[in-house]
Amino acid sequence: MIFGKIEYLNLLPFHIFMKRYTRSNQQKLSMEYKKNVPAKINNDFLNKRVDAAFISSITAKNSASVNLGIIAKKEVNSVIVIPSKDTKKDAESASSNVLASLLNLQGEVLIGDKALRYALKNKDYIDLAKRWNEKYHLPFVFAVLCYHQNKKRYKNIEKEFLKRSIKIPQYLLEKASKRTHIQKQDILDYLTLISYDLDSKAKAGLKKFYKEAKKI
């Protein structure tokens, strides 16, 4: 199985879980990772170069998926627009560029760890998930775990991941901090803003996004 891996901080708990989940030698041999940014992983998934991945919600609409996603209930701090006269999309993004247009926000779109670094040091930005929630009173779903086949495997991953409380070992937190240049406590605080459970309210938010995206 080739899994598309996005190494943003918002998926750190899931990657830790998957490492434990695939602990047996047989599972290790059957699991490979292809690393890239969301827009590239979307393309790899659509062209079946990866078997499963967290796919940007705007791309995931017609794909088989489970009830796991990258979800912001309110603010998220890692998907932002820096207001300016010129619009600049983030090449790593798919859903966030659409969301900025949907919310009529003009400026530079930033996503992922670089956006979080900016948000931690500056105040002149608009949090897209927060603005979405203020407008529609719904969570925003940035990505959904999609797969091509073997539904049973991914439903089991969903079940096992959602029932566990993932603790991040200090050595992995330290490694993530060095990689992203974000302080360890800031990483932990940030992860409290992320939900992975694609529950009924998150699904309502996703449905609303698809409806509104048709208008632009």
Chain segment 147-186, per-residue pLDDT in tens:
999 999 999 999 999 999 999 999 999 999 999 999 999 9
Question: In the predicted model, is pLDDT for residue 51 greater than 80?
Answer: yes
The confidence score (pLDDT) of residue 69 equals 98
The alpha carbon of residue 154 and the mean position of all alpha carbons in its chain are separated, in whole angstroms, by 17
- In which residue are the tokens 């009924």 written? 200
pLDDT grade for 29, boundaries at 50, 70 and 90: very low
Spatial distance between the Cα atoms of 139 and 86, rounded to a whole number of angstroms: 28
Specify the DSSP class assigned to residue 12: H
Q: Is 110 helix (H, G, I), strand (E, B) or coil?
A: strand
pLDDT digits (tens, 9 = 90+) for 105-149: 999 999 999 999 999 999 999 999 999 999 999 999 999 999 999
**104: exposed, middle or buried (Cβ count in 10 Å: 0-12, 13-18, 19+):** exposed
pTM over 0.85: yes
Residue type, 123: K
pLDDT grade for 21, boundaries at 50, 70 and 90: confident
Spatial distance between the Cα atoms of 177 and 38, rounded to a whole number of angstroms: 21
Spatial distance between the Cα atoms of 127 and 79, rounded to a whole number of angstroms: 6
Please state the CATH superfamily assignment of the domain spanning residues 2-73+138-213 in this structure.
Periplasmic binding protein-like II (3.40.190.10)
- φ/ψ of 114, rounded to 5, equals -65, -35
